[in-house]
Structure 1
Amino acid sequence: MTECEKIVKRDAFLKAIEVEDAPSAAEGLDLDSMVVDPSYDGVKLEKEMTQEFIDDMIERFKNGKKIARKYVFQIILAVMDIVKKEPTMVETSITEPSHTITICGDTHGQFFDLLNIFKLAGPPSPTNSYLFNGDFVDRGSWSTEVALTLYAYKWLYPTSFFLNRGNHETDDMNRMYGFEGECRAKYTERVFKLFSESFSALPLATLVNSKFLVLHGGLFSDDNITLDDIRKLNRFKQRQPGQSGLMMEMLWTDPQTAPGRGPSKRGVGLQFGPDVTKRFCERNGLEAIIRSHEVRMEGYEVEHDGKCITVFSAPHYCDSTGNKGAFIKIGKENKMEFTKFNAVPHPDVKPMAYASNGLAGLI
């Protein structure tokens, strides 16, 4: 309780001094004059991302090494520039029989399980698209490695590798559940601030084949919300989702079995029933919504008469839950193919190793 009270007080203080129009953390960052240490033994990153660099970076991460700080800045800034140009709801279609998109849920800093996803579902490519549906970071203790790997692929394949924002791509969560501390420990405070800026620029949803709406949390408090309302939402108006509004609901809500809507067990957002999902899908011409945000013991669950699918991709979550992970492949014919997988071994670093104020021992 004492530790939690400290965190609440610190968070209130940070909010009080926060300046909404603060200058970018990229201001004054001169990458051209930034020198990589001559002893750096990894592949060099020039002006464009390459598969060679990604392969080398992944090997470094597997061996407990880091990449040069200049390269971290390059990757974040390049991706921030890409995602800022994307709409709030990205729309993508699979048009070729040989082309698929793999939809993944929360990965939460579980880097070695992320590599297993790429092994099982195939490496990202222009014909093997991926969509990661938020919560890349926090809790797992390889969050910088996960974020940089996803960002590197986004830079390499900007039109076939997609990232939605989750409720853990927010400052409040990152301060409490480890990502901010991890950025400081492995790199610098400025790296976290740049990641924070890039998170606030991420799209909030992806529409696949005009039939599947993929968003991190779920549906809304108002039945009148449509896909057009999501399209028109200015996600740049506020960097953080706050306690109410469309952005908050997209990141935080959960399904329930009972009809109608109910209070959230999380204390923020709400819960929505099968009738809410049915009306939303019918009104917007959707087959289903695909969301993440919650552990499912089998890695996924088909709910609400098939119209709400939850997918969660962090197996044995926090090294304690015993759940499977899962991902969904969708092709041109809109058929969903589910794959479940178990956790793979990882180095002996506990979850929440970088959480603030001893929270790792509390959660």
Structure 2
Amino acid sequence: MSPVAISDAVKAQAEKIKGEANALFAAKHYKEAIEKYSAAIDLNPNVAAYFSNRAFCHLKLESYGYVISDADAALALDPNFTKANYRRATANMALGKFKEALKDLRVVVKNAPGDKDAKLKLDECAKIVKRIEFEKAIEHDDHAPSAADSLDVDAIVVEASYDGPKIAEDKKITEGFVKDLVARFKDQKKIHRKYAFMIILGVRKMMMESPSLIDIKVPAGGKLTVCGDVHGQFYDFINIFNTNGWPSEKHAYLFNGDFVDRGSFSLEVVLTLFAYKLLFPDRVFLARGNHETDNMNKVYGFEGEVKAKFSDMMMFKIFSETFNSLPLAHVIGNKILVVHGGLFSRDDVTLDDIRKIDRLALRQPGNDGLMCELLWSDPQPQPGREPNKRGVGIQFGPDVTKAFLERNGLDMLIRSHEVKEEGYVIEHDGKCVTVFSAPNYCDSVGNKGAYINITPDMVLDYVTFEAVPHPNVRPMQYASQFSGMLGM
């Protein structure tokens, strides 16, 4: 990047604004700090630190695509600006792009050989890359059985000392079992690994027989509740049932992805959801989110949590296979599309295109394509499409939403994927709703949670709720050490 001629007076003014931005950053006013850093850049675009500092703000807001572009700009100005390599590595790590992160971490360690923390992160990243390459080689071996097919659950012995809920010999889940399961989880106790495997495998089998898009109806004389991200916040998750009603034949639930990661009770959340899915297969619906994926689970805690609580890598592998089988979208009453992320980079996508996605073959969503965009995209207020601030998927405007709904004979899009101060936001002329169900996200954001109750005549009622107390276990307790890079 060629330097632009700037007068000393303008340079001084830019430095003053940078100082104001630094103060805003220190006060955790990241959006306002971004505006100030942008103003400094407008005055003097020759300073790598301005771009790197703005990248740090975007990192705090999880706008990883913007982090990467700002780090690129900083390094174009000064290839030796190591902080920018570190910022870019962090963003790529957050996106599960471990090979790209590894390249920058090698630069950081080379330029700062005394940085022990950077060396530790480099070593961990190298191990993850090596393990992923090994897993891919196994995955493409047609003769290698799936983890689920290689497990003999019947051979697992339940010790006489086990005092928790048990699944009967007929292997059927009962309402009593699920209630006992929830009570045990509230007391921070585990169920036996045999029963955990039975629940996971039962849902995997059910989901593998399901299409990628599922049509559902609101129960006659009852209601359907749509919930957004719960992110391992078990006690807030159970509070939804306590206040809004438990799943039943008259009360259906749709949980719209991101059951796991971040919160440190992800295992309890997902096993409860899976148990209810087995109990009420036509009343509990589960969609895949961007965090029901291997790369996210490696960074944000779910893989570490499964290993810590069950000391069983096989269990995580079977969870991964089950997440791969989760449906990608639901249509309520032929009128409301529900997906985790959002819409597409193409204008011609139909519901049939979603139905035809071979999610079982794809397994992981990748960085582009319909499956990726369903899980990662976000709405924007302005018309058209733009690259997503997250670095994956797209941002889509109200015109894109309107055209997609009209093309497919739909009235509304409900999606999740983004924390909202009041738990939900209605955008795009009332046609696009975001619902997020993890209040006081990561014990730090202070937001409300929300869910949507829908009646048989398709009337929507938005309900907000506050966080409830939980045991003294911090968020990201089981995350990789990269969580420190992410400011968690």
TM-score using structure 2 length: 0.72
Aligned 1:86-125 pairs, distance under 5 A: 86-94=210-218, 96=220, 98-125=221-248
Asked whether 1:340 is paired with 2:459, we answer no
SS in 1 for 2:373: helix
C-alpha RMSD over aligned residues: 1.3
**Contact 1:329-1:337 within 8 A present in 2 as well:** yes
SS in 2 for 1:271: strand
Query: Quick check: 12-21 or 56-65, which moved more?
Result: 12-21
Q: Which has the larger radius of gyration?
A: 2
Shift of 1:93: 1.3
> Quick one: which of 331, 334, 337 aligns to 1:207?
331
> Quick one: which of 319, 331, 354 aligns to 1:195?
319
**Whole-Å separation in 1 of the counterparts to 2:326 and 2:359:** 9
Alpha carbons of 1:7 and 1:305: their partners in 2 closer, same or farther (altered >3 Å)? farther
Shift of 1:6: 4.8
**Contact 1:299-1:313 within 8 A present in 2 as well:** yes
More strand by share: 1
Shift of 1:309: 0.3
For residue 74 of structure 2, what is the aligned residue in structure 1? none
**Whole-Å separation in 2 of the counterparts to 1:4 and 1:139:** 19
Alpha carbons of 1:7 and 1:302: their partners in 2 closer, same or farther (altered >3 Å)? farther
For residue 60 of structure 1, what is the aligned residue in structure 2? 184
> Quick one: which of 191, 195, 215 aligns to 1:71?
195
Q: Which runs of 4+ in 1 moved over 6 A?
A: none
After superposition, the C-alpha distances for 1:171-204 in whole angstroms (9 at most, x for unaligned) are: 0000000000000000111111110000000000
SS in 1 for 2:355: helix
**Contact 1:91-1:206 within 8 A present in 2 as well:** yes
SS in 1 for 2:425: strand
Shift of 1:148: 0.2
SS in 1 for 2:360: coil
**Whole-Å separation in 1 of the counterparts to 2:262 and 2:371:** 23
**Whole-Å separation in 2 of the counterparts to 1:102 and 1:95:** 11
> Quick one: which of 162, 174, 184 aligns to 1:50?
174
For residue 155 of structure 2, what is the aligned residue in structure 1? 33
Shift of 1:29: 1.9
**Contact 1:11-1:172 within 8 A present in 2 as well:** no
**Whole-Å separation in 2 of the counterparts to 1:56 and 1:278:** 46
Shift of 1:95: 5.4
Shift of 1:359: 1.8
TM-score using structure 1 length: 0.97
Shift of 1:26: 2.0
Shift of 1:289: 0.5
Shift of 1:27: 3.1
For residue 14 of structure 1, what is the aligned residue in structure 2? 131
For residue 291 of structure 1, what is the aligned residue in structure 2? 415
Aligned length: 362
Shift of 1:60: 1.0
**Whole-Å separation in 1 of the counterparts to 2:331 and 2:122:** 40
After superposition, the C-alpha distances for 1:223-260 in whole angstroms (9 at most, x for unaligned) are: 10011111111111211001111100000000001100
Alpha carbons of 1:145 and 1:281: their partners in 2 closer, same or farther (altered >3 Å)? same
Give the number of the structure with larger relative contact order, counting CA–CA contacts within 8 Å between residues 6 or more apart. 1
SS in 2 for 1:329: strand
**Whole-Å separation in 2 of the counterparts to 1:226 and 1:253:** 16
Asked whether 1:327 is paired with 2:451, we answer yes
Shift of 1:37: 1.2
SS in 2 for 1:337: strand
Query: Quick check: 40-49 or 13-22, which moved more?
Result: 13-22
Alpha carbons of 1:129 and 1:95: their partners in 2 closer, same or farther (altered >3 Å)? closer
SS in 2 for 1:101: strand
Asked whether 1:168 is paired with 2:291, we answer yes
**Contact 2:165-2:191 within 8 A present in 1 as well:** no
The one-letter code matched in structure 2 to 1:13 is K
**Contact 1:213-1:288 within 8 A present in 2 as well:** yes
The one-letter code matched in structure 2 to 1:231 is R
For residue 157 of structure 1, what is the aligned residue in structure 2? 280
For residue 250 of structure 1, what is the aligned residue in structure 2? 374
Shift of 1:33: 2.4
**% identity of equivalent residues:** 55
Asked whether 1:136 is paired with 2:259, we answer yes
Shift of 1:357: 2.2
Alpha carbons of 1:247 and 1:323: their partners in 2 closer, same or farther (altered >3 Å)? same
Gaps of at least 5 residues in structure 2 are 1-85, 87-117
**Contact 2:219-2:251 within 8 A present in 1 as well:** no
More helix by share: 2
Gaps of at least 5 residues in structure 1 are none
For residue 23 of structure 1, what is the aligned residue in structure 2? 145
The one-letter code matched in structure 2 to 1:149 is T
**Whole-Å separation in 2 of the counterparts to 1:246 and 1:5:** 33
**Contact 1:201-1:235 within 8 A present in 2 as well:** yes
SS in 2 for 1:57: helix
The one-letter code matched in structure 2 to 1:116 is N
**Whole-Å separation in 1 of the counterparts to 2:424 and 2:177:** 33
SS in 1 for 2:204: helix
Shift of 1:341: 0.1
